[in-house]
């Protein structure tokens, strides 16, 4: 029998047994039919009418992810950015001097359909990002959907066609960094408010008992969710351009690497 198969099967079986064991022995806390107190609090205060207790977002998942444990998501975003920067530094290519063919090997049918689909894809991604505080979704999901645009473009046309549209890894990394900086600025604005005006806390969203600072709950009648809406938009920018950076770097032809990174041709 295949050795790999045995290893994979034993890992899966072991984790299943572990999960069943922890559930049966209740090692992670008692299992009950009632909703736990903390869970009730989360749902209750997601869209409470008293703004001092609420997150001002209609969507509990986004509210929990961004506001109840905002630091956690901040670190997740940081890890993502670190990964993208690591890829960028591994694939250290200054510029792509070579101009490859812009001709697609596909017929007119896939090319035309892709051209029709790209605006639809962008529209869907932005809708999911801007509706993050109303309906399920949010910045990360929207960014992942938008990054598909780049992959489609590379597959249907070519990497050089993407480059000809002046989308290159350097520029996308710049936009990702701008999105990340904007997230950090949103978390730091309350501190600036604290220094110059009144009492406020780091990553504060809505007014608290002893602090008047608050991001706008609604923008033009639409539920915006205060800092959650801003976070969603900037996370959308950061994630979409981060993924675009990774995809653009990965789709650089291999022979270009061989010349530039490993210096194989100069050795010969």
Partner 1 sequence: MNSEYVVFILSLLVILTAIINLIGVLGFYRFKNFYLRLHAATVSTIGGAFYPLLVLSIIAFIEKEHYIGVSLLLSAFLILLLSPTGTHALARATYRKRIAIPEPLIGDKIKEEEASS
Residue 252 per-residue DSSP state: S
The total of other beta-carbon atoms located within 10 Å of residue 119's CB is: 10
Closer CB to partner 1, 42 or 106, in the complex: 106
Closer CB to partner 1, 116 or 209, in the complex: 116
- For residue 208, what are the β-bridge partners? 211
- For the bound state, the minimum distance from the C-beta of residue 110 to partner 1, rounded and expressed in Å, comes to 5
Stretch that binds partner 1, among 14-22, 112-120, 139-147, 242-250 (CB under 8 A): 112-120
For partner 1, the binding residue among 110, 161, 182, 191 (CB under 8 A) is 110
Closer CB to partner 1, 43 or 222, in the complex: 222
- For residue 223, what are the β-bridge partners? 218
Instruction: Identify which of 149, 143, 147 has the alpha carbon closest to the alpha carbon of residue 120.
Output: 149
Q: Is 42 among the residues that bind partner 1 (CB under 8 A)?
A: no
Binning the chain into helix, strand and coil, the percentages to the nearest 5 are 65, 0, 35
Q: Which residue has the tokens 């033009």?
A: 220
Give kind and range of the element (H or E) at residue 120: helix 108-130
Count of residues interacting with partner 1 (CB under 8 A) = 8
Closer CB to partner 1, 1 or 120, in the complex: 120
Q: CA-CA distance, 61 to 211, in Å (whole number)?
A: 25
For partner 1, the binding residue among 116, 195, 209, 267 (CB under 8 A) is 116
Q: Is 117 among the residues that bind partner 1 (CB under 8 A)?
A: yes
Q: Is 152 among the residues that bind partner 1 (CB under 8 A)?
A: no
Residues that bind partner 1 (CB under 8 A): 106-107, 109-110, 113, 116-117, 120
């Amino acid at each position: 029998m295949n050795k790999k198969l045995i290893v994979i099967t034993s890992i899966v079986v072991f984790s299943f047994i572990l999960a069943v064991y922890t559930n049966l022995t209740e090692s992670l806390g008692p299992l009950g039919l009632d909703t736990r107190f903390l869970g009730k609090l989360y749902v209750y205060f997601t869209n409470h009418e008293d703004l001092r207790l609420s997150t001002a977002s209609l969507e509990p998942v986004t509210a929990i992810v961004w506001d109840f444990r905002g630091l956690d998501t901040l670190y997740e975003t940081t890890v993502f950015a670190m990964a993208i920067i690591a890829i960028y530094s591994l694939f250290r290519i200054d510029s792509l001097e070579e101009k490859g063919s812009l001709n697609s090997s596909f017929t007119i049918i896939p090319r035309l359909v892709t051209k029709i689909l790209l605006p639809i894809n962008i529209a869907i991604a932005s809708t999911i990002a801007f509706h993050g505080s109303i309906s399920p979704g949010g910045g990360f999901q929207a960014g992942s959907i938008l990054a598909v645009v780049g992959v489609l473009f590379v597959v249907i046309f070519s990497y050089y066609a993407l480059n000809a549209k002046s989308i290159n890894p350097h520029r996308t990394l710049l936009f990702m960094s701008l999105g990340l900086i904007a997230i950090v600025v949103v978390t730091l604005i309350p501190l600036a408010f604290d220094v110059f005006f009144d009492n406020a806390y780091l990553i504060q969203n809505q007014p608290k008992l002893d602090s008047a600072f608050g991001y706008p709950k609604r923008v033009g009648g639409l539920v915006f969710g205060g800092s959650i809406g801003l976070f969603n938009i900037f996370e959308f920018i950061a994630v979409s351009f981060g993924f675009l950076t990774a995809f653009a770097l990965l789709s650089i032809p291999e022979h270009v690497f061989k010349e530039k990174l490993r210096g194989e041709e100069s050795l010969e």
